[in-house]
Amino acid sequence: VVLDYRDPYFIGLRTDHAMYRFFGRNHFGARVGLVVHDFDPTADGTGLEADLKHWLDGVYGVSAAPTA
């Protein structure tokens, strides 16, 4: 992983197959934003989305909604 851009409100990471962009909108009262540009033709977008959501929820202490 390479840190290719950083300022107080933005982090850009680059891997061999993807770019990850973290937007620190929480500094302005909004939610943190995350965009993934995955260039791997075999990438599992749905699985990646679930994994990243789980990770972000853990970072920010968000618990899953209760199930019935």
Q: Is the pLDDT of residue 47 over 60?
A: yes
What does the pLDDT read at residue 67? 56
Rg (CA), the chain: 14
Rounded to whole angstroms, the Cα distance separating 24 from 34 reads 9
Q: Which residues of 5-29 are buried (b: 16+ CB within 10 A; e: fewer)?
A: eeeeeebebeeeeebbbbbeeeeee
Chain segment 27-46, per-residue pLDDT in tens:
888 888 899 999 999 999 99
